Amino acid sequence: MNSHRKQLVSLAHPVYLSLLASVAAGIINTVWVSRLGGPAVAAVAVATNTENVLLGVALVFASGTTVLVAHARGARDPAALRSAVRGGWALCALVTPAVVTSGFLLREPLARLLLGGAAGPELPLAVAYFTISLPGIAVFYAQQLVDGILKGTGDTRTPLRLALLANGLILACDPFLIHLYGVRGAAVSTVLCRMVALGVGLRALRRNALLRTEVAPAESLPAALRRTVTTGLPMSADFTVRQTGTLVLVAIVARLGVPAVAAYAIAYKVLYVATMAFYAVRQAAAIHTSQLRGAGRDERRAVGREALLVSGTVGATAAVLLAGTAPWIMAAFGTGPQVAHEGALFLRCVGPYLLLMACFIALGGVFEGSGGAPALLRVTLLGTTIQLPLAYGLSGLGLPGVCLALALAMGVQCGVVAVLFRRARRQEKVEGAFERVA
Whole-number pLDDT of residue 239? 86
What letter represents residue 154's amino acid?
A: G
Whole-number pLDDT of residue 22? 77
Whole-number pLDDT of residue 139? 94
User: What's the angle, vertex CA 411, arms to CA 410 and CA 416, rounded to 5?
Assistant: 95
Counted residue by residue, the chain has a size of 438
Indicate the domain borders of the chain: 1-11+257-438, 35-231
Residue 203 and residue 197: Cα distance in Å, rounded? 10
Whole-number pLDDT of residue 119? 65
Residue 216 and residue 224: Cα distance in Å, rounded? 13
Report the b/e string of 139-153 with b at 16+ CB within 10 A: bbbbbbbbbbbbbbb
C-beta of residue 30 within 8 angstroms of C-beta of residue 44: yes
Q: Which residues contact 281 (CB under 8 A, 6 or more apart)?
A: 8, 12, 307, 310, 311, 314, 361, 362, 365
> What is the chain's pLDDT, residue by residue, as a tens digit (438 residues)?
578 888 888 888 898 988 888 777 766 776 677 677 767 777 777 777 777 778 888 888 999 999 999 998 888 888 888 899 999 999 999 999 999 999 899 888 888 776 666 567 778 888 888 899 899 999 999 999 999 999 999 899 999 999 999 988 988 898 889 888 888 898 899 999 999 999 999 999 988 877 777 777 778 889 999 999 999 999 889 888 888 887 788 778 877 887 787 777 778 778 888 898 999 999 999 998 998 888 888 888 888 889 999 999 999 999 999 999 988 888 876 667 887 888 889 899 999 999 999 999 999 999 988 888 898 899 999 999 999 999 999 988 888 999 999 999 999 999 999 888 887 666 655 444 434 434
Question: Which residue from 193, 189, 361 is spatially nearest to 275, judged by alpha carbons?
Answer: 361
Residue 170 and residue 187: Cα distance in Å, rounded? 10
Question: Which residue from 387, 383, 385, 423 is spatially nearest to 406, judged by alpha carbons?
Answer: 387
Whole-number pLDDT of residue 202? 94
C-beta of residue 164 within 8 angstroms of C-beta of residue 18: yes
Using alpha carbons, list the distances in angstroms from residue 421 to 234, 284, 426: 18, 18, 9
- Transcribe 64-117 into DSSP letters: HHHHHHHHHHHHT-HHHHHHHHHHHHHHHHHHHHHHHHHHHHTHHHHHHHHTTT
Using alpha carbons, list the distances in angstroms from residue 232 to 63, 100, 138, 332: 6, 20, 19, 40
Whole-number pLDDT of residue 430? 43
Question: Which residue from 193, 137, 142, 132 is spatially nearest to 168, judged by alpha carbons?
Answer: 193
Residue 86 and residue 93: Cα distance in Å, rounded? 10
Residue 261 and residue 44: Cα distance in Å, rounded? 19
Query: What predicted TM-score, i.e. pTM, was given to this entire model?
Result: 0.85
**What is the rounded end-to-end Cα distance, in angstroms, of the chain?**
34
- Transcribe 300-343 into DSSP letters: HHHHHHHHHHHHHHHHHHHHHHHHHHHHHHHHHTT--HHHHHHH
Question: Which residue from 256, 248, 243, 245 is spatially nearest to 394, judged by alpha carbons?
Answer: 256
Residue 433: exposure state from Cβ atoms within 10 A (0-12, 13-18, ≥19): exposed
